[in-house]
Amino acid sequence: MRNPNNIIIATLTLICCTVMMIASCDKTDTPAEGENGKIILHFSHYNDGEPLEFDTMKYTNAAGNNYLVNEIQYFISDIKLHKTDGSIKLIDDWDDIHYVDTDIESTQSWQVYDPIGPGDYEKISFTFGISEEKNQSLMFLNPPERDMFWPEFLGGGYHYMKLNGKWLADDEIVKPFDFHLGIGQIYSGGVIEPDSITAFVQNYFEVELPASSFSISDGETINFEIIMNIENWFQDPNTFNHDEWGGDIMQKQDAMKLGCENGQEDVFSIYQVFIVEN
């Protein structure tokens, strides 16, 4: 028979070790201090150089349409950090597709999970929308991302963006517009019905943020403010006229093409960068 005192000692030791292990659990996932940097992305929305005011018919686009914006919802994905040595850091963690909603404050900042290696970076780029490879139907089952689904008949997957508003039409009536971007369709014979679709068009595009060079050191956190300049969706290089395209464009590839070319040009910018020393 074993000595009961040894059993007591062993039991107490086991309890002590177990508790010490539990107490230390929270610390195991924390990277060593100073090992890498962090970036936080903030998303804001401007019009004509000022923070966007919603539901106010105070804006005029390049085509001369007076308009208001009610809400904006969109995805950005595949954020790339380009180093000066030519290497690219792809933010490719599980959270690599980010949803932004002007009605949901929590979506308007994104603390990127990935640690960022120290060094000099010459620019930041990202995909507006979702790439063909990743844009799979039913990958978002929960709201709010779920409500961005793009109908199967029209190509499936998810809207890249919903920019909803109203404009004063040429007949002096205020009408809604749904500037929705996603997978386009090519129709045969001018018949806008799913049976007439001959091809789908992947309209997602890459955005290279101008003046986005930065340096990051060990232990630093850099906050980037990514600005969507709303007026530029409707200008440069293409003048987008709501009177010409009407209130809906999901089944008008020519209209989506104009919008995407404008988006690639200068809709996005980095307005401010600030650094927090850890």
Q: Which is nearer to another protein, 86 or 190 (CB)?
A: 190
In angstroms, what is the minimal distance from the CB of 83 to another protein? 38
Question: Judged by CB under 8 A, which of 154, 201, 209, 273 binds another protein?
Answer: 154
Q: Compute the distance between CA of residue 110 and CA of residue 103 in angstroms, rounded to an integer.
A: 16
Q: Compute the distance between CA of residue 89 and CA of residue 121 in angstroms, rounded to an integer.
A: 10
Q: Which stretch binds another protein (CB under 8 A): 41-49, 88-96, 121-129, 242-250?
A: 242-250
In angstroms, what is the minimal distance from the CB of 110 to another protein? 20
Question: Judged by CB under 8 A, which of 169, 201, 209, 273 binds another protein?
Answer: 169
Question: Judged by CB under 8 A, which of 59, 74, 158, 233 binds another protein?
Answer: 158
Query: Using an 8 Å Cβ cutoff, are 194 and 13 in contact?
Result: no
Q: Which is nearer to another protein, 95 or 248 (CB)?
A: 248
Q: What is the DSSP string of the chain?
A: ---HHHHHHHHHHHHHHHHHHHHHHHHHTSPPTTS-BEEEEEEEEEETTEEPPTT---EE-TT--EEEEEEEEEEEEEEEEEETTS-EEE--STT-EEEEETTBGGGGEEE--S-B-SEEEEEEEEEES--TTT--TTS--STTGGGGB--GGGT-SB-SEEEEEEEE-TTS-EEEEEEEES-EEEESTT--SGGGEEEEE---EEEEETT--EEE-TTEEEEEEEEEEGGGGG-SS----HHHH-SB-TT-HHHHHHHHHHIIIIIEEEEEEEEEE-
Question: Judged by CB under 8 A, which of 143, 189, 198, 254 binds another protein?
Answer: 143
**Of 103, 43, 98, 105, nearest in space to 69 by CA:** 103
- Please count the residues of this chain forming the interface with another protein, following the rule CB under 8 A: 49
Does 113 contact another protein by CB under 8 A? no
Residues 3 to 42 in contact with another protein, rule: CB under 8 A: 3, 5-6, 8-9, 12, 15-16, 19
Question: Judged by CB under 8 A, which of 138, 186, 199, 211 binds another protein?
Answer: 138
In angstroms, what is the minimal distance from the CB of 173 to another protein? 7
Residues 196 to 225 in contact with another protein, rule: CB under 8 A: none
Question: Judged by CB under 8 A, which of 14, 88, 192, 275 binds another protein?
Answer: 192
Cis ω on the peptide bond leading into residue 237 (within 30° of 0)?
yes
Does 58 contact another protein by CB under 8 A? no
Looking only at the bridges linking them, the beta strands covering 38-47 and 220-229 are parallel
Does 246 contact another protein by CB under 8 A? yes
Q: Which stretch binds another protein (CB under 8 A): 88-96, 112-120, 171-179, 213-221?
A: 171-179
Does 70 contact another protein by CB under 8 A? yes
Q: Which is nearer to another protein, 169 or 209 (CB)?
A: 169
Contacts with another protein, residue ranges (CB under 8 A)? 3, 5-6, 8-9, 12, 15-16, 19, 55, 70-71, 137-138, 140-143, 146-154, 156, 158, 164-166, 169, 173-178, 180, 192-194, 246-251
